C-alpha cells in the first residue's frame, strides 16, 4: 500500500465533493421550499458546456463560472414557471429538464468537441500550510470554489435554522398554508429559491468543467453526478451540515476507481469499480428508508405538491 496514494485519494474526495455540494445544496434549497427539481443532471450539463464556451471565448475562468451559473438559473426558471405558476407535475417537469438540458448541452457542445479546457481554475496555495503532511493536501490545496462550497453549506445551515427568512423558507416547504395566512406569497418564495437553487447547480456544473475536466465529453462529463446529488439531499436529511459529510463520502466512491488503478489493484475490473458510486448511493437510500415514516427523514412535508389556496 502506498500511503501517498491514499492521502491523495482523500484529498480528491474533498475536491470531487464540490460539484456534489453545489448540486445538492441547490436541490436542498429548492426542496426546502417544497419544490422537487429532478432536473439537476440537465442543469449541470448545460451550465458545464456554457461555462466552457464562455471561458474559451473570453479567456477568463470567472466569466465562464458566471455564465454557467446564469445558465443554470435560467434553465430552472422553466421548471419554476411550470411547477409553481402552472402547477404542472414536478416529476415530469424535472425529467423534461434533464432531457432538454442534455440535448441543449450536446447541441451547444458541438464546437467544443476535441478542444481541451485551457482556461482552468487553479488551486490556491497556502504557503507553509499546504506543505503540512496529510492535512496539507487534504485541506489546503483546493481552489476557491471548493472552499466557497463548504462556506455556503455552513452558511446555509445558519440561514435555514437561525434566520427569519430561513424560517419562512422551511415553513413554505412544510406548511405553505400557514405561510400564506401570514400574508407572504408562497409562489414568490418558491420561485425565488428554485431559481437560486439552479444558480448553485449551475456553479457546480461550471466548476466541474473548468476545474475538473480535461475536455468536453458530452453526457459523460457529468455521468450521473446530478442524480447522486439528489440522493445526497435525502441522505443528509435535508440538512446542509450533514451534506458536507455526505458529499465527501460520495466523492470518495467517485474517485475510488482511479485510486485502485493507481494502486494496481486489478482483481476487480475497472468497469465494476465504476459502478460503486451508484451502488453506494442506492444502498444508502435503501438503508435510510423506513416503512410509512416518510417524514422521519426530515423531508419537507409539502415537497412536490403545488400550493392551491382555497379560492372562493
Partner 1 sequence: MRAPFRLVFEQRSETPKYLAAVVPIASVVAALFIGVIFLFATGYSPWETYSNMFQDGFASSTGITDTLGMSTVLICTAVAAAFAFQMNLYNIGGEGQLYMGMLASTWAGLALGPHLPTFVMIPVVMIIGALAGALWILIPAYVRSRLGTSEIVTTLLLTYVAANFINHYIYTSGSYFRAPNTMFPQGRLVADSARLDPFGTTNLYPTFFFVVLLALFLYWLVKKTEYGYKIQVISDSPRAAKYAGINANRTTLSVMLISGALAGLGGAMLIVGPVGRLDPGITALGYGYAGIVIAALARNNFSAIIVSGILFAGLRTGGEKLQISTDTPIHIGVMLQGAILLFALGGEAFRRYRIKTIRTKVVAQ
Q: How far is the CB of 131 from partner 1 (least distance, A)?
A: 38
User: Which is closer to partner 1, CB of 10 or CB of 232?
Assistant: 232
Among 231, 243, 244, 248, binds partner 1 (CB under 8 A): 231
Select from 5-13, 92-100, 146-154, 258-266 the region that touches partner 1 (CB under 8 A).
Answer: 92-100
Asked if 279 and 192 touch (Cβ cutoff 8 Å), the reply is no
DSSP state of 215: B
Instruction: At 222, list the grid cell.
Output: 457529468
For the segment 269-308, give every residue that binds partner 1 (CB under 8 A): 269, 271-272, 274-275, 278-279, 281-282, 285-286, 289-292, 294, 308
Among 2, 4, 59, 107, binds partner 1 (CB under 8 A): 107
Instruction: At 149, list the grid cell.
Output: 462550497
Q: How far is the CB of 278 from partner 1 (least distance, A)?
A: 4
Sign of CA dihedral 223, 226, 227, 232: positive
Among 12, 30, 93, 213, binds partner 1 (CB under 8 A): 93
User: Which is closer to partner 1, CB of 63 or CB of 297?
Assistant: 297
Per rule CB under 8 A, is residue 85 in the interface with partner 1?
Answer: yes
* Residue 302, phi then psi, degrees to nearest 5: -95, 15
User: Which is closer to partner 1, CB of 92 or CB of 154?
Assistant: 92
Other beta carbons within 10 Å of 124 = 13
Q: How far is the CB of 112 from partner 1 (least distance, A)?
A: 11
Distance between CA atoms of 82 and 91, rounded to whole angstroms?
11
Residue 215, strand partner residues: 116
Distance between CA atoms of 137 and 12, rounded to whole angstroms?
9
Asked if 48 and 108 touch (Cβ cutoff 8 Å), the reply is no
Per rule CB under 8 A, is residue 15 in the interface with partner 1?
Answer: no
Count of residues interacting with partner 1 (CB under 8 A) = 52
Asked if 200 and 152 touch (Cβ cutoff 8 Å), the reply is yes
Place of cell 476557491: 144
Question: Which residues sit at the interface with partner 1, rule CB under 8 A?
Answer: 38, 42, 78, 81-82, 85-89, 91-93, 95-104, 106-108, 110, 223-224, 227-228, 230-231, 234, 269, 271-272, 274-275, 278-279, 281-282, 285-286, 289-292, 294, 308, 311
Amino acid at each position: 500500500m502506498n500511503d501517498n496514494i491514499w492521502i491523495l485519494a482523500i484529498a480528491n474526495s474533498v475536491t470531487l465533493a464540490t460539484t456534489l455540494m453545489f448540486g445538492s445544496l441547490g436541490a436542498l434549497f429548492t426542496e426546502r421550499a417544497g419544490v422537487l427539481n429532478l432536473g439537476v443532471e440537465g442543469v449541470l450539463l448545460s451550465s458545464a458546456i456554457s461555462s466552457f464556451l464562455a471561458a474559451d471565448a473570453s479567456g477568463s475562468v470567472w466569466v465562464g463560472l458566471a455564465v454557467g451559473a446564469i445558465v443554470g438559473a435560467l434553465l430552472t426558471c422553466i421548471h419554476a414557471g411550470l411547477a409553481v405558476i402552472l402547477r404542472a407535475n414536478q416529476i415530469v417537469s424535472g425529467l423534461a429538464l434533464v432531457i432538454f438540458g442534455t440535448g441543449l448541452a450536446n447541441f451547444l457542445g458541438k464546437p467544443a468537441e476535441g478542444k481541451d479546457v485551457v482556461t482552468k481554475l487553479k488551486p490556491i496555495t497556502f504557503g507553509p500550510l499546504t506543505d503540512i503532511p496529510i492535512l496539507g493536501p487534504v485541506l489546503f490545496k483546493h481552489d476557491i470554489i471548493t472552499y466557497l462550497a463548504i462556506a455556503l453549506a455552513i452558511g446555509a445551515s445558519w440561514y435555514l435554522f437561525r434566520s427569519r427568512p430561513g424560517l419562512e423558507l422551511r415553513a413554505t416547504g412544510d406548511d405553505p398554508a400557514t405561510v400564506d395566512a401570514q400574508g407572504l406569497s408562497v409562489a414568490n418564495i418558491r420561485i425565488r429559491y428554485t431559481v437560486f437553487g439552479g444558480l448553485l447547480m449551475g456553479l457546480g456544473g461550471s466548476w466541474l468543467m473548468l476545474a475538473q475536466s480535461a475536455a468536453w465529453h458530452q453526457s459523460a462529463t457529468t455521468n450521473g453526478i446530478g442524480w447522486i446529488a439528489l440522493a445526497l439531499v435525502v441522505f443528509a436529511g435535508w440538512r446542509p451540515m450533514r451534506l458536507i459529510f455526505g458529499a465527501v463520502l460520495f466523492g470518495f466512491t467517485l474517485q475510488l476507481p482511479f485510486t485502485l488503478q493507481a494502486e494496481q489493484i486489478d482483481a476487480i475490473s475497472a468497469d465494476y469499480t465504476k459502478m460503486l458510486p451508484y451502488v453506494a448511493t442506492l444502498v444508502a437510500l435503501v438503508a435510510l428508508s423506513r416503512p410509512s415514516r416518510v417524514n422521519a427523514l426530515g423531508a419537507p412535508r409539502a415537497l412536490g405538491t403545488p400550493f392551491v389556496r382555497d379560492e372562493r
